[in-house]
Amino acid sequence: MAMTYEALLKGHQSFITSSLPERAQQYHTLGTQGQSPRVLMITCCDSRIDPCELTGASVGDLFIVRNVANFIPSAETTDGIAYDSTMAAIQYAVLHLEVSDLVVLGHTQCGGIAAVMDTDDSTPATNEIQQWIQLIIPAKKRWHSESSSVSDMSPHDQCAQHAIQYSLNNCMTHDWLRSRVESNQLNLHGWYVDLATGQIQILEHQS
């Protein structure tokens, strides 16, 4: 059973009295001197993904951008707020915090990917979810065009992993991202976590 709002408030009180005292200095330093994370992570809104828990990271370690299906739009996309929010956060991490690594972390059983699989580009987008999902349709097309090869993976996992590769390739359509990658100041990575086991698979980047 997931925690209720009231339980979260109690949890915070417990944090104040039990965990915070021994980490007060860490909080004070971060809270007064600013952040300097080395890794930018783009992951899904899904409540079952906790990048810090999966990696042992702590407060101040990860700059995290969350959106539906952990997607990075291409530079050709001009679809408004959702696109701008994601790219503004990524740009801040890359240009101002100068992170050295960008990780796209996707996952099994992603509702966003399931929606991508159920949608085609002839379907008119009539709400915000559909508009966002339409941005990811090209990843599904790429998967379809390459799906002749035999795979042990489920169609969902194949589509989700193609979407991660598509996001990594989209990075290179943004001049400010491409120049960082080409000068070896920024490394791109694709990760895929199995929610049922907690195991992360490191994907080989396919451009």
Residues forming the site for Zn ion (CB under 5 A): 44, 46, 110, 112
Q: How far is the CB of 40 from Zn ion (least distance, A)?
A: 18
Q: How far is the CB of 14 from Zn ion (least distance, A)?
A: 29
- Choice between 44 and 133, CB closer to Zn ion: 44
Q: Nearest CA to 102 among 23, 14, 176?
A: 176
Contacts of 52 (CB under 8 A, 6+ apart): 58, 61, 62
Q: Nearest CA to 85 among 113, 65, 105, 115?
A: 65
- Choice between 163 and 186, CB closer to Zn ion: 163
- Choice between 57 and 114, CB closer to Zn ion: 114
Q: How far is the CB of 69 from Zn ion (least distance, A)?
A: 5
What is the residue-wise DSSP string for 144-194? Answer: HHHTTS--SS-HHHHHHHHHHHHHHHHHTTSHHHHHHHHTTS-EEEEEEE-
- Choice between 133 and 186, CB closer to Zn ion: 133
- Choice between 44 and 94, CB closer to Zn ion: 44
- Choice between 162 and 180, CB closer to Zn ion: 162
Dihedral sign (CA 85, 91, 93, 97) = negative
The Cα–Cα gap between 159 and 147 comes to: 10
Q: How far is the CB of 31 from Zn ion (least distance, A)?
A: 31
Distance of CA 63 to CAs 25, 39, 90, 152, 197, Å? 20, 6, 9, 33, 24
What is the residue-wise DSSP string for 55-96? Answer: HT--TTTEEEEEETTS----TT----HHHHHHHHHHHIIIII
Q: How far is the CB of 63 from Zn ion (least distance, A)?
A: 19
Q: How far is the CB of 107 from Zn ion (least distance, A)?
A: 6
